């Protein structure tokens, strides 16, 4: 085998490897492909606003959220978020700096996630 054909073979194998790796990585980057997860976060984690975002990449579409502090529940509502979308929930009131505020979100038939301020 000559040097020229060896170099061409190596270049061809590298090209096939790069293409297959690019395909695998593009599938892994898709948050909705064969995955089932959702995330909860505050819009402004350092401020006093309790507004939060739910990012849904799960099969669940109906979420129930509860805003509470040590004294009791301030607000409890349901929100619908299709798979692959995010929704920001604006509450319209600020966190009490002297109390621990909790936002708990629970999809139907799953365990809840909580964030605190």
- For the chain, the structural domain boundaries read 1-30, 37-116
CA gap 107, 1 in Å, rounded: 63
**Cβ atoms 50, 43 nearer than 8 A:** no
Can you tell me the distance from the alpha carbon of 55 to that of 53, in angstroms, rounded to the nearest whole number? 6
Would the pTM of this model clear 0.85, i.e. be above it? Answer: no
**Residues 6+ away with beta carbon under 8 Å from 109:** 60
Q: Let me know: does 85 contact 75? Beta carbons within 8 Å.
A: no
- In angstroms, the CA 59 to CA 106 distance is 13
CATH class, 37-116 region: mainly beta
Q: Decide: 64 and 77 in contact? Cβ < 8 Å.
A: yes
Name the band, by pLDDT with cuts 50, 70 and 90, for residue 95.
confident
What is the structure's pLDDT at 1?
A: 63
According to DSSP, the β-strands at 113-116 and 72-80 are unpaired
Predicted confidence (pLDDT) per residue in 103-114, tens digit: 999 998 888 999
Q: What digits encode the pLDDT tens for the residues 9-53?
A: 999 999 999 999 988 888 877 766 777 889 999 999 888 889 999
């Amino acid at each position: 085998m000559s040097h020229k054909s060896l170099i061409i073979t190596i270049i061809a194998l590298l090209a096939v490897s790069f293409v297959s790796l690019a395909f695998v990585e593009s599938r892994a980057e898709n948050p909705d492909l064969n995955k089932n997860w959702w995330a909860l976060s505050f819009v402004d984690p350092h401020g006093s606003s309790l507004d939060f975002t739910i990012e849904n990449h799960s099969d669940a579409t109906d979420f129930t959220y509860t805003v509470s502090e040590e004294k009791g529940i301030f607000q409890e509502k349901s929100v619908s978020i299709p798979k692959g979308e995010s929704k920001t929930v604006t509450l319209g009131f600020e966190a009490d700096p002297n109390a621990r505020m909790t936002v708990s979100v629970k999809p139907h038939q799953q365990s809840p996630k909580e964030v605190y301020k």
